[in-house]
Chain A
Amino acid sequence: MAAHLSYGRVNLNVLREAVRRELREFLDKCAGSKAIVWDEYLTGPFGLIAQYSLLKEHEVEKMFTLKGSRLPAADVKNIIFFVRPRLELMDIIAENVLSEDRRGPARDFHILFVPRRSLLCEQRLKDLGVLGSFIHREEYSLDLIPFDGDLLSMESEGAFKECYLESDQTSLYHAAKGLMTLQALYGTIPQIFGKGECARQVANMMIRMKREFTGSQNSIFPVFDNLLLLDRNVDLLSPLATQLTYEGLIDEIYGIQNSYVKLPPEKFAPKKQGDGGKDLPTEAKKLQLNSAEELYAEIRDKNFNAVGSVLSKKAKVISAAFEERHNAKTVGEIKQFVSQLPHMQAARGSLANHTSIAELIKDVTTSEDFFDKLTVEQEFMSGIDTDKVNSYIEDCIAQKHPLIKVLRLVCLQSVCNSGLKQKVLDYYKREILQTYGYEHILTLHNLEKAGLLKPQTGGRDNYPTIRKTLRLWMDDVNEQNPTDISYVYSGYAPLSVRLAQLLSRPGWRSIEEVLRILPGPHFEERQPLPTGLQKKRQPGENRVTLIFFLGGVTFAEIAALRFLSQLEDGGTEYVIATTKLINGASWLESLMEKPF
């Protein structure tokens, strides 16, 4: 059921099985029937690890959402709290436990901290007088969750904000722990590269943790050749630009949560005669999106303009396949046809879904406003008129378009101009405050602190240098049969991915200049391997690089990396890890502050 995780170069199902085992072991420690009380945020990520059926096998009979006052009644022996280690959650748990004692038969309480047990939280429970009520207090180190055959995410929402705004390294520590777990399963990674302050810290923690484990020699043959740690703030640009791959657009328009997307139901109404149009489904259509679906795997990373032709080709193939039934004459032929039916029906269902999604997206992408916005974005990225007030942005503000859209554009302009002229910046800020409310001054401060919005200092605009050296803007983009990663943004080649590409060939030494302009140190560390585990590469064998985005990664960047992996002479295949899967909107939203 999670077979798609094992298709890639690195079998990530191993990781999934390892965390599932850990979960089962914990559940079995609490003998008897159980109810789980969930920290709501965890349910999404957990769904990728264990379905309800697994929990049921281990006598989980009830599930509740963690909230104040009393727990709902449940005739179970064990109550297990699955929570993130947060103080405010501890207060709620204490409330639950204290109101529990007064009634009914005694039940056993347990806590499972995800991903790490916290002394601070236990102290809080102790202060509230309930620590002794818990029989098992354990941690479940679910740091990196496998999302797809080449994709891992920590789904840590606030990671970027914590790292770059609040200098809180908690998520970096978890990232380092997650990397240690990966190394325990897939072998020590012999070379670590990194760019950025956070990358440096994670590498330091890893080296330190390795020292803590001296002795338990890792004797697994290394699967990964390199690890590349990248700070999100090295490339603030890519997430701000509108993603133009199929998956990227689905995320931009509808938002993909833990690999699920909710879509407006009208397009998915059952097309049966008789009850046509009578009762349209009102509940959003929920679809899981991953490479387990053959068609989706094929089109997800394509530029949206190339999706239509694939869909129509697929449609022809499938209807041809169905037509085969007329040719089936003998019993044997009919039997063979019937045996293929389930697969064909699944393919047809999948095609119908994606055709509907593509139609929904097309409605948006063909709109005039989308076109205007994209034009402005592309002008900025190619360096046109980045230093004055942009009239489209002005009009957006005047018409009170969604604030997030405005912020995204203003930030994009600022990044593409290495900061805005003070006058321009103040004008935008004043317009935003007057139109959307003065409370947004806090959000603006946050954006400034994160470097997304800033006045140009020293009057030097480095972006053109970076753009030219790293070839971030490509004028001739082939969207149908791409030859360069720039196809994912129809022109702009994501900086982060370009850095990875240049690292693998010809190496970062060639771009020292640019690396110095980009924020944070760049470094290389080696983790020595015992001689028995050193790899002798076969000619033509690709390296495997684990690339870890600290602060989030977008689907377009992932698509670009997959494109590089598939290049015949690329020489490197990528496995992608991140603190969170983001898009420009969700990313900026995490930085917004609403005081009321």
Chain B
Amino acid sequence: MDCYTANWNPLGDSAFYRKYELYSMDWDLKEELRDCLVAAAPYGGPIALLRNPWRKEKPASARPVLEIYSASGVPLASLLWKSGPVVSLGWSAEEELLCVQEDGVVLVYGLHGDFRRHFSMGNEVLQNRVLDARIFHTEFGSGVAILTGAHRFTLSANVGDLKLRRMPEVPGLQSAPSCWTTVCQDRVAHILLAVGPDLYLPRPFCLVFPLALPQTPPGLAPGVSSFLQMAVSFTYRHLALFTDTGYIWMGTASLKEKLCEFNCNIRAPPKQMVWCSRPRSKERAVVVAWERRLMVVGDAPESIQFVLDEDSYLVPELDGVRVFSRSTHEFLHEVPVASEEIFKIASMAPGALLLEAQKEYEKESQKADEYLREIQELGQLPQAVQQCIEAAGHEHWPDMQKSLLRAASFGKCFLDRFPPDSFVRMCQDLRVLNAIRDYHIGIPLTYSQYPQVLVLRRLYPLAIQICEYLRLPEVQGVSRILAHWACYKVQQKDVSDEDVARAINQKLGDTPGVSYSDIAARAYGCGRTELAIKLLEYEPRSGEQVPLLLKMKRSKLALSKAIESGDTDLVFTVLLHLKNELNRGDFFMTLRNQPMALSLYRQFCKHQELETLKDLYNQDDNHQELGSFHIRASYAAEERIEGRVAALQTAADAFYKAKNEFAAKATEDQMRLLRLQRRLEDELGGQFLDLSLHDTVTTLILSGQNKRAEQLARDFRIPDKRLWWLKLTALADLEDWEELEKFSKSKKSPIGYLPFVEICMKQHNKYEAKKYASRVGPEQKVKALLLVGDVAQAADVAIEHRNEAEMSLVLSHCTGSTDGATADKIQRARAQAQKK
């Protein structure tokens, strides 16, 4: 334990760097790494190798092999490369392998060597060929940047949503830049390139300087004639430049500020240069690799140097650098603060003391108490525990993790109310991390990466256990893993449809968040339509079932599913689909068997295709609706009277067929009226068409055509009562009082005479009203007299009738002084009545 810090190397005064072995690789590499295209995914991801046979010095003899290994060297896939020459390999953020071909076509493979898709980087790239390519990651996804033979750049910031951007030309760029990289500024990816002593950052959106202007990093040592290598940090914040004078400049990626510089006096161009820093640390360091030498340089006069025994390859990580070669896989990083505090020689940090105390306690030594007191006296026990927990997270070896956690647990015993969650959480995380760091899994994640990394590698059981262990909500964790498993399952072509469907349903059941339609879509994608249909049966959401069924041309099934859902929009969608797919007869037959769909389709036709609506009613022998249809048509479609009458005739015929005698007769009456109105217009002028029968008669009376009016009323058998009302109203409107009086005397009124009084009063003709008031029958006499304002006589009649209600009615009309006598009279009569 004393030599625990033996592999710590100081850089400057404040930081230590350490390198430790993750795995000894036992991949059986036939080739030297230097002969291969190499790509390793970040976050402990897989490694892809493609022996490069297209190099000029080694003409292709056999087809190359693309191999994919886990970080521990366990082979995951191996396939013969049958496509064109590859310029560059890289992993996307989703751990898909992107292979950039010379012709600008990018082939995408899954982790297990399964071909996913391909896309092209455009015509310009195709014509000029790819000279160099990089795969890079930003917050928007993984991008591809390409340098073409014409020294132009094309890039796409997100391969998931391919949008190609051609970068503007750099003036005077005759040959390829000495080095270049992608940077990300203001959330946009750019290319930074070096030509001779100048740096260029072409900005396609900059209107003022569409062409890039050369830039020089601030504080650059003189004498530089070209840049040999450049590196941006993981977060795109920092930039390092390696010059032909063996000088390294480190600063911000915006080229506005210099952080530090270092002169390593090696003029040979390095093979790789990457940043090595940890989040939230102030230290900045760059790792530079040559054939046999590895150097860590930072803001310090000295550098840390390692000797490389074999060809090595650097993989930048969020918090360090992975270095792998034929035989080993190592991790190089800055020692985290918590570890440094605890393990630094002669450290008096609370964590260090706590660790010491715990060790003494195990030895059953009283020193344990001394150490503990020392911490407690300073009141630093909570920090001590926290430090141990944190440091445990950064340790790679389980033994060390354990002893730190034991120390934390020991310290916790002496604290009241120390919240346990950070300790529990760390134990859980470490168990997970240790499990996946295991050689067989080979994912050397440093800290809290998430289980979906495992899913992509088809390590389903482990992933599920982890989710359950970490108590991730089902929808986020287990469901996703199971769905993934099912999608993999449907691709197993040697298993029968029934078996696959059953196996999937057994395992998934009603697991929340699992989309059977996604799985079915995958099955359909593999050409297994029947399986897809079987799987869709398990899908509870019709909204998901229907589109896929339509895509698979199972429209009738889709229709019944849509109807089941009650979602009318879905039904409509299927219907319109069916309409185009089937011939008219079949389509109608299908509708006939689905009443709900039929009524919806009728609705659609009512607004969109009237003719079809008619055909539908015809098919169903729905004569009643056909009748209504033609009635509507008589108004909408026809202008000429003949046309309208013809349409009405069709309607009447339909009503007869529907055994709706009343409607048929009414429609015939309407035809008769229409013809008549037409004739009236011709003979009398004026507007008659589309007046109701009632209004036609009224209009005739108003224009003095009493005879015609009578005739019309007779023809259409208008009931007497209504005719009297009609005439009364019309004559009063005309204020033809003479005619009205004549009319009232023509025979005994079937509606009585009160309406006469009322209507005269409405026209404010009291004189005429009074004429009729006397003829009003006894029951309504009081009302009539009151209407004409003859309160006194009304009172007399009411008293005569001995009617209490009438008397109070009259009383309520007695206003002011004039009616005072009348009121008294009534009161007296009332009193008399009560006496009796």
Contact = CB atoms under 8 A, between A and B. Distances in A.
Given A116-B569, A398-B721, A426-B662, A437 B576 contact: no
Interface residues of B, number: 57
Main secondary structure of the interface of A (DSSP, over half): helix
A215 interface: yes
B631 A595 contact: yes
B452 interface: no
A595 B722 contact: no
A431 interface: yes
B513 to A, nearest CB: 6
A208 B474 CA distance: 22
Given A88-B607, A394-B721, A398-B726, A437 B692 contact: yes
A173 B567 contact: yes
A216 B669 CA distance: 64
Contacts of B663: 441, 445
A436 B666 CA distance: 13
B572 interface: yes
Contact of B576 (A120, A214, A434): A120
B512 interface: yes
Interface stretch (A7-15, A162-170, A354-362): A162-170
20 contacts: A87-B607, A117-B569, A118-B569, A119-B573, A166-B599, A170-B569, A204-B566, A205-B565, A217-B512, A394-B722, A395-B725, A433-B670, A434-B693, A434-B716, A435-B693, A435-B694, A441-B628, A441-B670, A442-B631, A595-B636
A450 to B, nearest CB: 14
Interface in A104-156: 116-120, 123
A31 to B, nearest CB: 14
A371 interface: no
Contact of B510 (A123, A205, A214): A214
* Number of chain A interface residues as a range: 35 or more
Closest 3 CB pairs of A and B: A215-B512, A398-B725, A167-B599
A434 B690 contact: no
Contacts of B666: 429-430, 433, 438, 441
Contacts, number: 135
Interface string B725-748: 110010000000000000000000
Contact of A398 (B568, B573, B636, B722): B722
Interface in A189-245: 201, 204-205, 208, 211-212, 214-217
Contacts of B667: 438, 441
Residue of B596, B608, B631, B726 with most chain A CB atoms under a 10 A cut-off? B631
B49 to A, nearest CB: 42
Interface of B: 474-475, 479, 510-513, 540-541, 564-570, 572-573, 576, 595-596, 599-600, 602-603, 607-608, 624, 628, 631-632, 634-636, 662-663, 666-667, 669-670, 673, 690-695, 716, 718-719, 721-722, 724-726, 729, 751
A45 interface: no
Given A434-B716, A442-B628, 6 more contacts: A169-B568, A215-B512, A398-B725, A441-B666, A596-B635, A596-B636
B564 A216 contact: no
Contacts of B603: 166, 168
A143 to B, nearest CB: 13
Contacts of A430: 662, 666
Contacts of B566: 169, 172-173, 176, 201, 204-205, 208
A176 B693 CA distance: 47
Contacts of A216: 475, 512-513
A442 B721 CA distance: 26
Contacts of B600: 167-168
Contacts of B602: 166
A128 to B, nearest CB: 14
Given A123-B576, A400-B694, A433-B666, A441 B510 contact: no
Contact of B573 (A120, A176, A438, A442): A120
A596 B568 CA distance: 29
A200 B226 CA distance: 81
A493 interface: no
Contacts of A435: 692-694, 722
A557 to B, nearest CB: 26
A279 to B, nearest CB: 28
B777 to A, nearest CB: 15
Interface in A407-426: 426
A441 B628 CA distance: 8
B603 to A, nearest CB: 5
Given A169-B596, A596-B690, A399 B729 contact: yes
Contacts of B718: 434
Contacts of B724: 398
Contacts of B691: 437
Contacts of A117: 569
Contacts of A170: 568-569
Contacts of B512: 214-217
